[in-house]
Amino acid sequence: MDSSRGAKPGPLRGLRIVEFAGIGPAPYAGMLLADLGADVIRIDRYDAGMADPGHRVLGRGRRSLALNLKQPAAIALVRRLLRDSDALIEGFRPGVMERLGLGPSECRDINPRLVFGRVTGWGQEGPLANAPGHDINYIAITGLLNAIGTRDSGPVAPLNLLGDFAGGGLFLAFGVLAGILEARNSGQGQVVDAAMVDGASSLGSLIWGMRSGGFWPGARGENMLDGGSHFYGVFECADGKWVTLASIEPPFYAALLQALELDPTRFRSQMDPRDWTALRADVTAAIRRRTRDEWSSRLEGSDVCFAPVLDFDEALQHPHNLARTAFEQSEGMVYPAAAPRFSRTPGAAAVPAGKAGEDGRRILADFGFSKEEIAGLESAGVVRPPSDRDMRAGG
């Protein structure tokens, strides 16, 4: 990868962002920005090694500089990087960056245009701001976790997608880009407080609107989009595998009834929740007459609004995913391709992240550090030098 500013392909070409290494949402935001062409420089711990497999994917597309942030010289180095950067992103608990001497006020003095992106679970202020937690804790107080699951299951954790990655990382990337656009007009940066509780709540805007309009009256598993209806949900097949149906609009609903050989007169009260339990039992029985793959051969691509529920291995082989090259592979790892897609300036999902600090010399040279300065920082234990392997690879 060409390390010069703006050399990466993608619509964010030319942006330079400093990311403080962490876990979960901040690395995901950095991945999104890097996939679309931003030059994201990740500040790793001096003693960090090779990332675990999950974070090798989340860390892709960035160059790594490993610093001993306990040394004042390392803080001075970061301040020098920030002078020529568009944004900083971090996912520490409130107050950590301030204790390092790199809080928003200090960064404003370094670079008035700098956008300071912060992602936490609870936000930078509020009664819980300093409390520890993880994804499921944050979405628990939004009302959304209680709505996910069936009447019998109780609330079901949606992996850690809703809080960490959608509510946190995605909103951090969105907020940072919005801040950079505004700074180009005003000449002033600002703090982006990306709280997972706020982002997750925003993702539930449609559901809140439906509740306000009286279209989400039931408890968990009793509403149109949560599995309560007979025409939108997940259904078990004869082989124990599953399919999804989403036949909401009248033409799609009619196609569903025809495909399942169900009596249209019995099913004419589609939107009456009082009939959903009985009608869902009929749809469930109809789906159980065939295997998942039999239903796929009959219904996939039809007006029924149908898709099979695939496991990870099956997803890699689905014809639609193959046609769109939805997944890529490198160094024995499989990972999703860059998204969204652009017609003229496509992004790229670079190979998974390597060893922390392997790009240090190239990064510092790009920011104007001399060979003598770099050697001095390495010998003082401020910057970790590249290993022999990194040197052979061009580090």
Class of domain 16-203+330-392: alpha beta
The answer to whether the CB of 227 falls within 8 A of the CB of 150 is yes
Over 60: is that where the pLDDT of 388 sits? no
> Which region among 190-194, 237-241, 334-338, 350-354 has the lowest average model confidence (pLDDT)?
350-354
Position 243 confidence tier, pLDDT thresholds 50, 70, 90: very high
Q: Which long-range contacts (CB under 8 A, 24 or more apart) does 269-275 make?
A: 270/231, 271/224, 273/217, 273/218, 273/222, 273/223, 273/228, 273/229
Cα–Cα dist 56/139, whole Å: 26
Over 50: is that where the pLDDT of 344 sits? yes
The boundaries of every CATH 3.30.1540.10 domain in the chain are: 232-236+242-308
Q: Note the CATH architecture for domain 232-236+242-308.
A: 2-Layer Sandwich (3.30)
The answer to whether the CB of 62 falls within 8 A of the CB of 34 is yes
Position 263 confidence tier, pLDDT thresholds 50, 70, 90: very high
Instruction: Give the residue carrying structure tokens 């090694």.
Output: 49
DSSP 141: T
Q: In terms of Cα–Cα distance, which of 70, 27, 18, 67 is closest to 45?
A: 67
The boundaries of every CATH 3.40.50.10540 domain in the chain are: 16-203+330-392
Higher pLDDT, 303 or 330: 303
- What is the pLDDT averaged over residues 78-82? 98
Position 353 confidence tier, pLDDT thresholds 50, 70, 90: confident
The amino acid at 221: G
Query: The whole model's pTM is what?
Result: 0.94
Q: pLDDT value at position 44?
A: 95
Q: Is 106 exposed, middle or buried (0-12, 13-18, 19+ CB in 10 A)?
A: middle
Instruction: Give the residue carrying structure tokens 């390495």.
Output: 378
Summarised one tens digit per residue, pLDDT across range 89-114 is 999 999 999 999 999 999 999 999 99
Q: What is the mean pLDDT of the chain?
A: 94
Summarised one tens digit per residue, pLDDT across range 281-295 is 999 999 999 999 999
Cα–Cα dist 250/244, whole Å: 17
The answer to whether the CB of 310 falls within 8 A of the CB of 234 is no
Q: pLDDT value at position 5?
A: 42
Report helix, strand and coil shares of the chain as percent, to nearest 5. 40, 15, 45
Q: For residue 273, is the peptide bond before it cis, meaning its omega torsion is within 30 degrees of 0?
A: no
Q: pLDDT value at position 138?
A: 98
Cα–Cα dist 67/360, whole Å: 9
Q: pLDDT value at position 1?
A: 37
Instruction: Give the residue carrying structure tokens 């107080």.
Output: 141
- What is the pLDDT averaged over residues 169-176? 98
Q: Which residues are bridge partners to 65 per DSSP?
A: 43
Catalytic annotation, residues:
134, 164
Q: Which residues contact 151 (CB under 8 A, 6 or more apart)?
A: 219, 220, 221, 222, 228
